[in-house]
Structure formats: C-alpha cells, structure tokens
Chain A
C-alpha cells in the first residue's frame, strides 16, 4: 500500500516536471528547447550503440570516482572523527582547500594526465572527497561515548570498535554524503567531458549542440538524467540493504 502510494507520488512528480517543461517549451517556442515528447522521441530514435557507449563511459567515470573517494575519504574521516590529533592536522587543510574551486584544476590535470579518463576522474574525486570526508568525520565525532564504552567493556579492541560501532554508526551519514556527492560528481563530469576528450555523455550533448542536432542533444541530456536517477536509486537500495535499522 505504502509502496504503491510512493510509486504514484514519483509518477506524479515526473508528470509534473514534464508538464512544466512542456509549458516552458511552448512559451519559448525555440528549437533549442523541444518539448518532452519530442525529446523522448529523439531518445528512441537516437543511435543507441553510440549513445550506450557514451553512457557506459560516463557511468564508470562517475562510479569509479565515487568509489575511490569513498574508499579513501571514509577511513580518513572515521579516524579524524575519533582522533582529535589527526583532526587538528587535517581540519585546517580541509578548511583552506574547501573554497578552492577544484574544477579550476581541470586544465592542470589535462596538462599532466592528458584528456583521458584519469583527468576527469581526478577532478570529480577532488570535488567530492572533501564532502565525504567532512560528513564522515562529523558523524564519527557524534557517536555517543557510552555506546563505545559499553562495547569496549565487552572486550572489544580498537579494530572491533571500528567494525562494530564506529563504521555502522556512520553508515547512514556516509550514504547521504554519497547521494550529495553524486549530484556534484555528475555536474563536474559534464563539465570535464565537454572540455576535453571525445567520449562520455557531456561530449555527446555538446556534439549534438554543435551539429544543431537538438534531438541528439536532448537524448544525451535525458540519458544523463536517467544515469543520475538510476545511480541515486542504487544508493537508496544500498541503504535499504545495509542499514535495515534505519527503516524503523
């Protein structure tokens, strides 16, 4: 019952957004913004093997950078949250580097790493690393001390405390950080793919624009939106599976 109501509300939201989009396209009456039906038709007419190749490339760039950022930022965040001495070293670094627009480093990365996957993934990684690090550190800081003491009193060593208490306590925050980072990651991906190289959905969209093939352009935009939505749903599913207590 609850699930079907939720599905209906999602459907209603999609219809609402498409309605707004349709109205805007009628109002603007510009070939640069076709209506949703035209865009969907262009998606069905798109050269799928080509679009799928770009979709695949973009997906692994986003997922790869997200996975790498999680792999490095989560342990560092957990340690910084629990060890004030490490945090006192890290916090000023993070604070100083946070306002620096990492995207501005894209040209530097291009010079050093070329225009391949490495450049794009490095810039995405740099943008989302801080977000995950800070969220994880703050979650690790907030763990109620009695929870740690009660498990320590049962005989848990340092490693067991991380495995049994600190990591699970931070999991919901880590997944939330993943969700927020996903949005940033896709934005940076688009920018980096439009700036360098000849692959990925960003390139595909820009190529459509330059060829004035707005159908292809919108097929790329819809594919990118779809990719974001699927990855978002994937993170929700992950939370559902690994944080069952959060559902209560």
Chain B
C-alpha cells in the first residue's frame, strides 16, 4: 500500500536558524503516527510545512521531498496547497478558543468549510486512479490533484443537515443549539470538538492534530483523545498526532517519531519504542514519565504543632466588570491547614479558584470573608503584611517569563528581597551565589538577564530568590506548568530535595494531578471555588470518594511502554522505514 504521506529529508529554516533537519517519515492510510517532542523540537513546524501554513520567513530546504498520496507537495506554493487543505488533509490546533473565529457562529464556520466543497467541483473522492498519471508526467503537473475532483455540491438545506450530522459525529449534545452559538459561549472541550467537526467536514484522508489537548483541562483531554481514536476508527483517516505527552502518544499512536532539536532521534512502533527506548533522549523522556507515575514514598509528617497556615471558610469575590454587573465569586468557603514541613497539594482545573487561594494565603489579595491565620497571626483583615511575616512565607509564580523583571540582572533581582525584607548585609553576594548553587545554577548566572535564561533556569532563579529569606512556608503557584516535561521533573525533584534539607512547608498548586501527587503529602481537590475532597495523597489518588475527584483520577494517563498497543493485533509495519 502506498503511504498517504511520505516525507524525506525535510529541512526548515526560520530566519537562517534551522528548526527541522533531515526529517523523514511516512504515514500509511488509516495509520496514526505520533510526533513527540518538547518545545523547540520542530514538531509543530513540521505539521505547518505539510499543510503549507509555515509562518512568513520560514524556508523549506531545497532537497526536501514531500509526497501526498504519491504526488509531490509544494508547501511554499499557497495556490497549489489551497485545494488540498480542508479537503484531502485538514488540521486541528492547540488552543481552540483562539483558533475559532470569535465573530462567527459555529454553524457559520462549519458552513464555510462545506461551501468550499461545492465550489470548483473538487470535493474529495476516495477512488484513486493511478495508472494514467505515471504515463503522462507533464499532464500530471497541470492537473495535479484534479482527481479529488468528484462533484459533490451541497445545497443550503443539505449543508444545514450536514452541519448537524458533523456536530453529532464529534459527540456534541444538542447539535442544533451548539450550531447557533458563538465560540465564546462554548467550553474548551466543546470548542475543540467544533474544530474537529470542521476539520472532518470533507472527510479528509489525513488529519493533523497539533497538540489538540494541551490547552484543555485534564478531564477534557481524556475525552478528546478518546474521540480522536473513535473517529479515526469510524472514518479511516490517517492521523498525524503531534504532542509532548508520551502517555497520550502511547494511547493513540501505532508508530511514533521522537524529535529533539529539529531531528528525529528515534522512530518505530509505539509499543516497542516506549517499552524499550534505544536513544538517550527517548530514554530520558520515558524515565521522566515513569518517575512521575511512581511517586516517592514519604514518611508521614508528625502533625503535632500549630499549623503554619490555617484557612477557614474563605470567601473571595472578583468585583463586577461593569456597573450593575454581578461580582464573580471565586471561592465559596474554603478551609484547610498546613503543618510545618508538610506539603499540601492543591489540584484543580483552570478557573477552579486555586491561584486566587494561593494569593490570598499570603496576603497579596484581600478576602471577602473568612479567616486566614499565618504563623498564628490573623491576616484576613490586614492591609499589608509586616516584614517579619513576609520573611517567613514566600510565593513562586507560574510564568517564569513574567516573574523576573526583564531589566534587572539575576543579581539585582535577587538583591531586591534582601533589601526590602531588611536582610541585607555585607555578604549578600556570597549568599546569593550560594542560593543559586542550591538550585543547580552558579555564580556565572549572576550577571545574566532573564531573556538570556531558559524557562527552567528562570524558574530556578525564582525558587532561589524565594528561599533567600529562609521561609517556613513556600507557596508554589503552578510553578512548572509552563515547562517541558523533563525540565518539570528536574525542577520538582530539586524542590523536593531542598525541602528535605531545609524543612519548609509547601502549598503546591497545580492542574497536573501526577505532578501534584509526586510532590505532596496531602492533596486538596478544588472544583468551582470549593474543596471537594481533601486527604493523604495516596488515598486521594487510589480511592477517591467525590465524583469529581473520581473523573479527575480516571483521566490520569496510564503507564506507558507496557500494554500500550494491546488490542491492535491488526497492526503491522506496512512499508520500509525511512529513518536509519
């Protein structure tokens, strides 16, 4: 069987920087291929190249050969690619909220895709006539892809029916109601389903899914992955699945390509590669994944003494956006306590109020009601915390790109808390260096500016800065969610080791249940401004009581490399492999 997509020696350069080098792989009809890599590995650029959607300034190397169903693709020729897009191949993207046109209804946007199928009589046909083309290569160039030329023009009534059919296909409840809505009236999961419906409008032979679940909440991610799998089974399209998530790839893919820094480092059937990785990089990805799946066993903390932080019946409202509007209540009576040296994990999806809770806990915002007791002092009514309290608790933020002032060097940024908290003395520099060494950086980073550091390094600087005042409570607000998996693991392992050495308590806020479990002694699960369940980490993960916690745990990715390709006995490698 001829591959539906065949890529040989693909090279892409942006402004002279080579982001993809000598990449070769192919996808058989109906096959799922996963392209795995961390940020900057070139995986999304590869997808964009196949669709001809490369950003301006990107160049494809001369000797690259892309073939779609045997015919050469010219990604740089927009006019030549246009007839293929949305017909023979289509694509769904990462962030469905911004990928849907906010000014058009769902029906309008799908209708656009359907209307196009009628115009130009080029709707996709699955019947392929190959014989004549090879005999007459000159004619072939003129009428390239004209074989997707079966007429299938929809009338407006038919289109309407087809829209509802597509919305039902992606398992949206009440298609007629969804069709009338604007994207901002849908949830993230619904938006991504609409994107899928749009992409599948012409029943493409190749669907490219570029990180289709990474912008979504954990429970929704699992649903979308299952949907992708079901749809592929029903429609028989080939799927190029681009992800940084090994577990998701293991779940979906027949074969995988592991990319690093623009190169393919390993290639093969998913089950084999993930169970027995040969290359260092793949091995590291897999071991990170496995470490995460097997959290360290920590001895239970003795909870005798007074808690460092106690929160009772905390309520918080965001003020109304405009006059006569209703304020948005982000926390509905939250209660928790953290003992000295203990780590409490707060897990919840976006909008559950967990970050608000973190900011309230150390007095960066003021609650609408309830009580916050920090080291025995009630702070709920205090306008500002005094220095003595500030020294004892510190916060680290999510976005390592925003948490450091771009105009201050690492040294200047780290001097700031010392000066403001009245801890400054003559050996500041030595202390700052020691703090940097503690987080795996060194004195040579002192003079650097944030933009000269990687995301992981910036977050290490933030951790070092927060620990300068020897706090007894550290609040970590999604500190690793902007980082790549391997870097995430390095950062949390380092944080755990520092905690073992120094004995501070932690409130670890996150949306990734595996990471939170890895770090925490106890876990509180937040949902819509309430803590729905709270208890020892193992108990929450293995025996959740609350229905919401149960769905959250069910969505947790399984282990990889063992039974991944089970039930895929029909699968075998159909053609020779490009990667040698």
Do A and B actually bind? no
